[in-house]
Amino acid sequence: MPLISFVVAAFEQHRALRTCLSSLLDQTLDQNQIEIIVADNSLDARETMMNHNLIWMGGHIRHLHTADRAIIPEPQCRNIRHKRCLYTALEIGVAEATGDWIAFPSQDDYYAPVFADRMLAVSSATDAEFVHCDVVLGGPGHGYFTLGTAPRNCAIDKCAFIMKRSWFDGFKDKWDNYELEDGYFVERLVERGIRVAKCEQVLACHN
């Protein structure tokens, strides 16, 4: 049984996906304790598999084509970009996960090799059910800056935390209108009493 499941949301533009997956395969945590699930919301999943050689990268990377299962109707989502909703794709991916902990990389995220080790060590030392770290945000041509995360709206990114899967499974209205930001989801977790701790390091990058 893996200890942590990384559920990676992928959507159409996959040039960074290979780098993201490589950073997960390079984790210092024993790879037998890591599960990687790609929730691929692309229209052509076969092209994704060919272009990025996911099978070659590691047999334990599980690929789910979620686009035909992640379509949500009006008025739940008015954002046409979310017609094949990434949040819904994540829920499909988590339903397939088997780890006690889950993390939510996007295809353009990259993790320090010690990410899983350090985050899990904080949870062990504090008995926390939700652990977050600081991240680098930005992208080519836009500059980069360090975000000091906090469990509230506009102060956390999906790539910046791990959480107990049992909390996610038990939170039935987590994205009730499928337009909430990551921070609102975290705020609602805190309101419901999840135990939070922070790893005081920069361990992830979101491009």
Q: What is the pLDDT of residue 194?
A: 95
Report angle CA 24, 38, 98 to the nearest 5 degrees: 80
50, 68, 75, 142, 145 from 104: Cα distances, Å: 23, 20, 26, 23, 21
Contact (CB, 8 A) for 24 and 121: no
Q: What is the pLDDT of residue 201?
A: 95
Tens place of pLDDT for every residue, the chain, 207 residues?
899 999 998 876 667 788 899 999 999 999 999 999 998 877 776 666 666 666 566 657 888 877 776 565 555 555 545 555 677 778 888 999 999 999 999 888 999 999 999 999 999 999 999 999 999 988 667 788 898 999 887 788 889 999 999 999 888 777 665 555 677 788 888 999 999 999 999 999 988
Q: What is the pLDDT of residue 200?
A: 95
Q: What is the pLDDT of residue 34?
A: 95
Q: What is the pLDDT of residue 43?
A: 72
Q: What is the pLDDT of residue 49?
A: 65
Q: What is the pLDDT of residue 156?
A: 87
DSSP per residue, the chain: --SEEEEEEE-S--TTHHHHHHHHHT-SS-GGGEEEEEEE--S-HHHHHHHHTHHHH-TTEEEEE-GGG-B--TTT---GGGSB-HHHHHHHHHHH--SSEEE--BTTEEE-TTHHHHHHHHHHHHT-SEEEEEEEEEETTTEEEEE---SSTTS--GGGEEEEHHHHHH-TTTTTTS---HHHHHHHHHHTT--EEEEEEEEEEE-
Token digits of residue 81:
């970009």
Spell out the domains of the chain, with CATH numbers in brackets.
Answer: 4-206 (3.90.550.10)
The pTM of the full predicted model, rounded to 2 decimals, is 0.88
